[in-house]
Chain A
Amino acid sequence: MEYFLQQTINGVTLGAIYGLVAIGYTMVYGIIGMINFAHGEIYMIGAFISIITFCLLALFGITSVPLALLIVLVSAVVFTSVYGWTVERLAYRPLRGSFRLAPLISAIGMSIFLQNYVQIVQGARVKPLQPVVTGGIALVQSGHFTVTLSYIQILIVVLTVALMAAFSLLIARTPLGRAQRACEQDLTMAALLGIDVDRTISQTFVMGAALAAVAGVMVSLYYGVVDFYIGFQAGLKAFAAAVLGGIGSLPGAMLGGLLIGLVEAYWSAYFTLEYKDIATFSILILVLIFRPTGLLGRPEVEKV
């Protein structure tokens, strides 16, 4: 029972991270109907910038943890957002009128480019990070096993919930959010009504990148290691989360992320560690075959 509780805590934490990345996928899909293949790489870049900033802070002798966290978050979000913006500008915007496979191939190319770019400029080795946030709360103790809720886990979940709330408010109440929802429904009409479609789309990408950056910071703290390949792996899982939750739905992305995180935690705990990714991919495939609109998504009608 305690073991289960611990796995649940782990799963929720992991799920929160996936959810943050999944939101990026789902927002972009909602507004321009394409899968941003390079989104996983944006998350990876966020993680790298996080590590670099931490190293710099250590060099400058800044030891206060809250201050360091704040600086790292800001730094990662700012720089990663620029990457997100640039990716859209270079690889997707020119292809908006093109044939169906073009943006997808461009996205794949961008993913390959970013992955190898980071590999070249930062080296192919795994990058470790000294633990920054340590310690936790012991919840339940039973025999030799203590269920712990670490501070970093609390931080991740709290931050994710706060960001979710903030974004939902943003989408529902602000002009930007309204413009985004309008573009999601009918791009042409939104343009005719005077909405700056290009800017709205760019802003969507930037928001997705910002969330992915936060996820990157969290993952660098949580696991303590990053390498240039984490984007590919997390990207697939976060995409599975977005599809599971219903692509186009923000709460769906979070829900999907949570479910995928839990599945991964339980599977690796109770079955096998090696095949946990197969469990996740299988979910993705099954959802796409049997319920393509996901749990919370809206059914799509084919326009002939």
Chain B
Amino acid sequence: MTPDLLNVEHLTMRFGGLTAIDDLSFAAKAGAITALIGPNGAGKTTVFNCLTGFYKPSIGRLALHHAAGELLLEQMDGFRIARSGVARTFQNIRLFPRMTALENLIVAQHNPLMRASAYTLGGLVGLPSFRRAEDAAIDFAAEWLERVGLLDRADDEAGSLPYGAQRKLEIARAMCTRPALLCLDEPAAGLNPRESAELNRLLVGIRERERIGILLIEHDMSVVMGISDHVVVLDYGRCIAAGPPAAIRRDPAVIRAYLGEPAEDEMAARGGG
């Protein structure tokens, strides 16, 4: 049994009178893809926002397990969480539109580069170690551009890329932070079936090669069922089911949440119930 990478315990998020997440607990493992699904408004993105420091949970323990120990994400600032190895993409793509694809990926490597530039001072005087670090960063970025098939568009403005390419670039950018946990918020939104299949291959590739944990919010069931190892289902902020994809697909609670209660006459037509 591989150890958990992320333990979410009793996460509750309240906005004034509205409880967006209600006592949610689940775990995500490294080297596995965990999908977070549920109808719209179930609170999935809110979970991400709590995990990545954009919201402070009302209650909850979010433990990220490191080689060195355990980090409690609910107490950390967003950017520190990112530095600790949690990367994310956004529901509405948030690239840096006027920077090139390559620059987007270089920005992702900001922290190691800052250290290498001796917090800018070394960079100003042209330290050779900084130049080497920068070259290494460019090579790393180029690797990822190639992996998502955007190497030939490295110098194009990110805002000018087609939608599917932008989604892939955002994932590549997140990967350039060398995360331990990758959180993807609806990466397949707006993709056609061919692009979704490509996405599946990319994510499975990341799982196999980088062996990191992937946490995935998704509505596209071809992606969820196709590649997830573990699925957590949310409805009205509560976890209504959790388990392997095959079991979730058949779970009556999940079906009810997505499709609603069958109408009375429908039940009568089915012959009682």
Docked CA distance A304–B55 (Å)? 10
Question: CB of A302 within 8 A of chain B?
Answer: yes
A301 touches B15 (CB 8 A): yes
Q: Tell me the smallest distance from the CB of A140 to a CB of chain B, in Å.
A: 47
Question: CB of B96 within 8 A of chain A?
Answer: no
Q: Mark out the residues of chain A between 284 and 304 whose CB falls within 8 Å of any chain B CB in the assembled complex.
A: 301-302, 304
Docked CA distance A301–B16 (Å)? 11
Q: A301 — which chain B residues lie within 8 A by C-beta?
A: 15, 55
Q: Mark out the residues of chain A between 54 and 82 whose CB falls within 8 Å of any chain B CB in the assembled complex.
A: none
Docked CA distance A135–B49 (Å)? 62
Docked CA distance A301–B49 (Å)? 12
Q: Tell me the smallest distance from the CB of B55 to a CB of chain A, in Å.
A: 8
Question: CB of B140 within 8 A of chain A?
Answer: no
Q: B49 — which chain A residues lie within 8 A by C-beta?
A: 304
Question: CB of B90 within 8 A of chain A?
Answer: yes
Question: CB of B26 within 8 A of chain A?
Answer: no
Docked CA distance A301–B54 (Å)? 10
Instruction: Please count how many residues in chain A sit with their CB below 8 Å of the partner chain's CB atoms.
Output: 3
Q: A304 — which chain B residues lie within 8 A by C-beta?
A: 45, 49, 54, 90
Q: Which residue of A lies closest to B97 (CB)?
A: A99
Q: Mark A261-304, 1 if CB is under 8 A from B, else 0.
A: 00000000000000000000000000000000000000001101
Docked CA distance A302–B53 (Å)? 12
Q: Mark B24-60, 1 if CB is under 8 A from A, else 0.
A: 0000000000000000000001000100001100000
Q: Which residue of A lies closest to B52 (CB)?
A: A304
Q: B55 — which chain A residues lie within 8 A by C-beta?
A: 301
Docked CA distance A221–B241 (Å)? 71
Q: Which residue of B lies closest to A299 (CB)?
A: B16
Docked CA distance A236–B15 (Å)? 33
Docked CA distance A243–B1 (Å)? 55
Q: Mark B170-181, 1 if CB is under 8 A from A, else 0.
A: 000000000000
Q: Which residue of B lies closest to A301 (CB)?
A: B15
Q: Which residue of A lies closest to B46 (CB)?
A: A304
Docked CA distance A301–B46 (Å)? 12
Q: Tell me the smallest distance from the CB of B192 to a CB of chain A, in Å.
A: 26
Docked CA distance A301–B20 (Å)? 13
Q: B45 — which chain A residues lie within 8 A by C-beta?
A: 304
Q: Which residue of B lies closest to A304 (CB)?
A: B54
Q: B90 — which chain A residues lie within 8 A by C-beta?
A: 304
Q: Tell me the smallest distance from the CB of A231 to a CB of chain B, in Å.
A: 35
Q: A302 — which chain B residues lie within 8 A by C-beta?
A: 54
Docked CA distance A98–B207 (Å)? 39
Docked CA distance A301–B15 (Å)? 9
Q: Tell me the smallest distance from the CB of A262 to a CB of chain B, in Å.
A: 32
Q: Tell me the smallest distance from the CB of A134 to a CB of chain B, in Å.
A: 52
Q: B15 — which chain A residues lie within 8 A by C-beta?
A: 301
Q: Tell me the smallest distance from the CB of B145 to a CB of chain A, in Å.
A: 26
Docked CA distance A304–B186 (Å)? 13
Q: Tell me the smallest distance from the CB of A248 to a CB of chain B, in Å.
A: 16
Q: Tell me the smallest distance from the CB of A281 to a CB of chain B, in Å.
A: 29
Q: Mark B119-158, 1 if CB is under 8 A from A, else 0.
A: 0000000000000000000000000000000000000000
Q: B54 — which chain A residues lie within 8 A by C-beta?
A: 302, 304
Q: Tell me the smallest distance from the CB of A154 to a CB of chain B, in Å.
A: 41
Docked CA distance A301–B18 (Å)? 13
| Chain A interfacial positions (CB closer than 8 Å to B) | 301-302, 304
